[in-house]
């Protein structure tokens, strides 16, 4: 039995999210079907982050165990063959120690949220980015975002259905910048609450439109009350960019 670490890219649009559901397509189910076709038996796949419906990934990490002793590039290519036509790609497969855990060994997850602030509708980037039909002040959004960095009780930015035992989380970085025609929000943290990034993004857009101030964001955080959160941003603009693990000894 060999354990493989996979780096994945996927379009989350047609999926109910990462996690397997009995009556809906999921990224996990697509990968497990591909792995079963490769290994000739049921295979369970575990991910670093359970992305929601419509959320994309540029560098999701997962692991699985295969009975067949295969080269890593063969695993990558065979899985990609069996994944067609699902919009999921294995970018890399690597044989790792049998105690590697994609979820529990991760020390940092990097998310990106993409916004286009323009009046015309989207033709090419539909389901890839959130279109806000007015110009946003990215500098004001960045300044307001800094009150959220560090260790806080994020109850305000936590979905009501969140199953985490504690609302306490540490956001290492929230960076807002204008990149060409887009506004990018970059988040770095070890772990997140359910819909925390989308809740923060929607709140910061209120700042970008001039409806909220930095002080309003600070007050919302301090309230520790979901009702104090701004509108939640849609899933389409969110990407799991990368997952970082401890450097090998």
Q: Strand pairing of 182-189 and 168-179?
A: antiparallel
The CB density around residue 34, as the number of other CB atoms within 10 Å, is 23
Find out whether 191 and 104 touch, Cβ atoms under 8 Å: no
Closest CA to 34 of 23, 25, 42, 46: 42
| Positions marked catalytic | 52
Find out whether 145 and 221 touch, Cβ atoms under 8 Å: no
Count of residues for the chain?
A: 249
180 phi-psi bin (left φ>0, alpha ψ -120 to 50, beta other): left
């Amino acid at each position: 039995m060999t354990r493989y670490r996979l780096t994945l890219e996927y379009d989350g649009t047609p999926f109910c999210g990462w996690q397997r559901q009995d009556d809906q397509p999921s990224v996990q189910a697509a990968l497990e079907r591909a792995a079963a076709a490769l290994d000739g038996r049921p295979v369970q796949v575990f991910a670093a982050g359970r992305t929601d419906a419509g959320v994309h990934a540029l560098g999701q990490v997962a692991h699985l165990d295969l009975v067949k002793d295969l080269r890593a590039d063969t695993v990558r290519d065979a899985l990609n063959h069996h994944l067609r036509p699902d919009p999921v790609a294995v970018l890399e497969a690597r044989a790792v120690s049998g105690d590697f855990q994609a979820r529990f060994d991760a020390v940092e997850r990097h998310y990106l949220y993409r916004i286009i602030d323009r009046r015309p509708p989207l033709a090419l980037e539909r389901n890839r980015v959130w279109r806000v039909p007015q110009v946003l002040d990215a500098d004001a959004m960045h300044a307001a975002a800094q009150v959220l960095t560090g260790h806080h009780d994020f109850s305000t930015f936590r979905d009501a259905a969140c199953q985490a035992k504690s609302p306490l989380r540490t956001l290492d970085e929230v960076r807002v910048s204008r990149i060409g025609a887009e506004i990018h929000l970059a988040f770095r943290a070890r772990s997140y609450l359910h819909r925390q990034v989308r809740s923060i993004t929607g709140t910061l857009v209120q700042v970008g439109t001039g409806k909220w101030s930095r002080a309003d964001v600070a007050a919302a955080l301090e309230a520790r009350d979901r009702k104090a959160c701004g509108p939640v941003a849609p899933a389409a603009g969110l990407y799991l960019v990368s997952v970082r693990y401890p450097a090998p000894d």
